[in-house]
Chains A and B, each alone.
Chain A
């Protein structure tokens, strides 16, 4: 009798339990991050772009293999090397019902070019944009730009009438001390329309029944919730409160995989992690050598490279989720040849010690390694591992870990001798990384080349990459640049960070190398 009572009680409590996972076509997805704004041109930030891509579209988009395919533009051609002519898809309308015209595209590209826009990296070469008729858009670039089409998926098109009616003609908001209607409301042409949004809490999307693409998505309604705490995110996945959660913390991947009905998709992300060494300063900013800067000596840089065991870092610190690499750009980046992934110099601590002795540092030296502690997967632990490995060849490394809000201004301001950094080319094109990371810091380039690596020959070759329209020749050029960069040990590539998407078994989706979830690719059982 008593046992029955207990059983009944337990059954009653279980019945009161968590809401069962939503019906087949509705999903709840959780992320540790949230979109920062819904304005399509205000903030070039991973999660923001992920959410925006469901509501807004560009002239072109990427397919499951990251290749460019038509979206709002049905076709395009290049009458001259600096002129691109796009034919718009007829019959496309915004979520509020107004028809898309070439004027909206002109308006949106100009908005993305404006001072307050954070999308200028994608529109940089554009000097003029015009609409000869309602369905034709002409884009003129300053010089032949091979990467333009690679950048256009991120230049999202909004309705001029809607934006102007709501005083949202510019993406600026905070800087003018006023709210921006477009940062909390959205009106695009995309596969999902915005139903409601509570920033940092929940964003509800509903499939757009009038979407132009006949390949309608399986997911008809999606609720994005933010769960910043890793353990709580995993718990929500384990209990079935969410159908999809990312990133699953490394230490929890086996736990989730071992749970019935759940799986984790893992694979290399396109972000490459590397070390930068200050090669510009005459003397070390943060180190024991006061009369010289050891990092200016190529042999010292090579010694650091050869003292580091990337395989060990990838298997131990990153628990097998990282992919060691010898290149600053991951496979999958446009114009990058796969053979560049092998490391340039083998792991060899003895050779490293010999090189240090040859350079006059037989006793080693002391240096501070600046490192973020809330930005990348296991960032601080990786820096500790680097310190431990370098200690073996006599280089004493003090790890200086700090939050991202301090780290980026510090290294960006060149106030660092040695640091741990990660980069994803935002348009998945080699020129982006070459321009931002490898080019000398001048002419608006080399912005995150925080070690100030500089080589005139490489700078010249990067300029050629920009306008080389022949795909094969362009790949050869990039290979040549990266071979030379490795020879000079401009940076020390470590590994590609790993992706980890946790989900219930009923969901099938390709893993996007840029960590951008695309609900239209979800197939539900």
Chain B
């Protein structure tokens, strides 16, 4: 019955991805010339022209874009100009590093952020709450790269507790390369994950605090108190459950942003993930890698939004008939 809705959403998603790659291709004109980075300074003009021709970079952008779409539809994203290896291989190689980092940092943000937000909501005047709000203010205002460098200075250079760069002694489990297999490798993830988590953490603290304050003032909480339910049960089963609804939505939507913006954290810590791959590709004007990365990010965003849309359809009966009043 709601097949139509699903199909139209999927079509919309496909258009978004095509539009993103079209805009990306239009912008590639301005990132520079990869040929100048692929040959040494002494290569002759004839050599450069020959390379440009072989790579098809001398053709109009529209044509290059159409060919990219055609190949991408068949799952072929071409070779990286910088590394000479298939772009898909590079992305798949780097994907675990970024996913582990983002998932772990989201876990840090949730596990710390929710209790901190609750404390700040329940005892707004306590010293600890003020401290929490101060930390969240710092997290919101300091740029990520600066936090990363400060952490390296404190925990690597001065204290000598944590390694300053890279993924360390990772373990290979099948095709998946992980930092979770040993403490030795896990240590390498602490600082990058915390750096990435800080912004999310402050967001969650503020959201949970606001929602909790609102929920705690509502009638059903008062009734629950009047019925003499234990304070702990009121807090966790009734108040928090209600306060978390918007938090969960935001965390879900944020996940896409975090994957996309792991770039800065990965650059500071030389974390070999997709963000670092993209940063290098931009400096090199490595068009196939940039195009594939941007498409992948578009797919991630679209998928998350699609999932949210479908969840709404399941939850809200009015949307199922496809003519809901709310749209």
Question: Is A bound to B?
Answer: yes
The chain A residues found within 8 Å of chain B, CB to CB, are 13-14, 16-19, 36-37, 43-45, 115, 118, 120-121, 172-180, 183-184, 198-202, 225-229, 231-232, 235-236, 238-239, 241, 374, 402-406, 408-409, 412, 423, 426, 432, 436, 444, 447-448
Contact A241 B164 (CB under 8 A): yes
| B36 CB contacts on chain A under 8 angstroms | 404-405, 408-409, 412
| A436 CB contacts on chain B under 8 angstroms | 41-42
| A227 CB contacts on chain B under 8 angstroms | 165-166, 270
The chain A residue sitting closest to B45, CB to CB, is: A447
A18 to B155, CA, bound (A): 10
List 7 other contacts, CB 8 Å, given A44-B42, A115-B50, A409-B35: A45-B40, A173-B84, A228-B267, A232-B152, A232-B269, A241-B165, A447-B45
Q: Does B61 make an interface contact (CB < 8 A)?
A: no
Contact A409 B160 (CB under 8 A): no
Contact B84 A37 (CB under 8 A): yes
Contact of B39 among A44, A226, A238 (CB under 8 A): A44
Contact of A199 among B33, B46, B78, B83 (CB under 8 A): B83
Question: B26-37, CB under 8 A of A: which get 1 and which 0?
Answer: 000001111111
Known: A44-B43, A174-B84, A447-B45. A17 touches B32 (CB 8 A): no
A403 to B280, CA, bound (A): 12
Contact of B38 among A43, A176, A228, A423 (CB under 8 A): A43
Contact of B280 among A19, A44, A228, A235 (CB under 8 A): A228
Known: A19-B163, A239-B164. A229 touches B270 (CB 8 A): yes
Contact of A405 among B37, B55, B160, B165 (CB under 8 A): B37
In chain B, positions 72-114 with a C-beta closer than 8 Å to chain A are: 78-86
Q: Does B253 make an interface contact (CB < 8 A)?
A: no
Contact of B43 among A121, A231, A409 (CB under 8 A): A121
Contact B84 A180 (CB under 8 A): yes
Contact B33 A406 (CB under 8 A): yes
In chain B, positions 128-182 with a C-beta closer than 8 Å to chain A are: 149, 152-153, 156-157, 159-166
The chain B residue sitting closest to A45, CB to CB, is: B40
Contact A16 B43 (CB under 8 A): no
Q: Does B205 make an interface contact (CB < 8 A)?
A: no
Q: Does B284 make an interface contact (CB < 8 A)?
A: yes
Q: Does B187 make an interface contact (CB < 8 A)?
A: yes
| A16 CB contacts on chain B under 8 angstroms | 161, 183, 187
Q: Does B268 make an interface contact (CB < 8 A)?
A: yes
Q: Does B63 make an interface contact (CB < 8 A)?
A: no
| A228 CB contacts on chain B under 8 angstroms | 267, 270, 276, 280
Q: Does B297 make an interface contact (CB < 8 A)?
A: no
Contact A236 B164 (CB under 8 A): yes
A18 to B164, CA, bound (A): 9
Q: Does B19 make an interface contact (CB < 8 A)?
A: no
| B43 CB contacts on chain A under 8 angstroms | 44, 118, 120-121
Known: A17-B160, A227-B165, A235-B152. A405 touches B284 (CB 8 A): yes
Q: Does B44 make an interface contact (CB < 8 A)?
A: yes
Q: Does B283 make an interface contact (CB < 8 A)?
A: yes
| A404 CB contacts on chain B under 8 angstroms | 32, 36-37, 283
In chain B, positions 42-75 with a C-beta closer than 8 Å to chain A are: 42-47, 50-51, 54-55
Contact B283 A374 (CB under 8 A): yes
A175 to B52, CA, bound (A): 9
A25 to B130, CA, bound (A): 53
Contact B55 A43 (CB under 8 A): no
The chain B residue sitting closest to A17, CB to CB, is: B160
Contact A175 B157 (CB under 8 A): no
Q: Which 4 A-B pairs have the closest CB atoms?
A: A405-B32, A44-B40, A175-B54, A121-B42
Chosen A-B contacts, 13 in total, with CB atoms closer than 8 Å, are A18-B160, A43-B40, A175-B54, A179-B85, A183-B83, A228-B270, A232-B270, A405-B283, A406-B33, A409-B33, A409-B35, A432-B42, A448-B41
Instruction: Tell me the smallest distance from the CB of B24 to a CB of chain A, in Å.
Output: 16
Q: Does B124 make an interface contact (CB < 8 A)?
A: no
Known: A18-B156, A235-B164. A406 touches B32 (CB 8 A): yes
Contact B32 A403 (CB under 8 A): yes
Q: Does B285 make an interface contact (CB < 8 A)?
A: yes
Instruction: Tell me the smallest distance from the CB of A296 to a CB of chain B, in Å.
Output: 24
Most buried by A among B55, B157, B183: B157
Contact of A118 among B39, B55, B272 (CB under 8 A): B39
Contact A177 B78 (CB under 8 A): yes
| A202 CB contacts on chain B under 8 angstroms | 166
A403 to B46, CA, bound (A): 23
Contact A231 B37 (CB under 8 A): no
Question: B244-275, CB under 8 A of A: which get 1 and which 0?
Answer: 00000000000000000000000111101000
Instruction: Tell me the smallest distance from the CB of A434 to a CB of chain B, in Å.
Output: 13
Instruction: Tell me the smallest distance from the CB of A20 to a CB of chain B, in Å.
Output: 10
| A199 CB contacts on chain B under 8 angstroms | 83, 85
| B40 CB contacts on chain A under 8 angstroms | 43-45, 118, 121, 426
Contact A229 B268 (CB under 8 A): yes
The chain A residue sitting closest to B169, CB to CB, is: A19
The chain B residue sitting closest to A259, CB to CB, is: B157
| A180 CB contacts on chain B under 8 angstroms | 84
Contact B55 A201 (CB under 8 A): no
The chain A residue sitting closest to B93, CB to CB, is: A198
Instruction: Tell me the smallest distance from the CB of A89 to a CB of chain B, in Å.
Output: 28
| A18 CB contacts on chain B under 8 angstroms | 156, 160, 162-164
Contact B270 A226 (CB under 8 A): yes
A74 to B79, CA, bound (A): 41
A225 to B269, CA, bound (A): 13
| B32 CB contacts on chain A under 8 angstroms | 402-406, 409
Instruction: Tell me the smallest distance from the CB of A277 to a CB of chain B, in Å.
Output: 20
Contact B54 A235 (CB under 8 A): no
A229 to B144, CA, bound (A): 14
The chain B residue sitting closest to A435, CB to CB, is: B42
A78 to B317, CA, bound (A): 91
Contact B164 A232 (CB under 8 A): yes
| A45 CB contacts on chain B under 8 angstroms | 40
Known: A228-B267, A239-B156. A120 touches B164 (CB 8 A): no
Contact A175 B156 (CB under 8 A): no
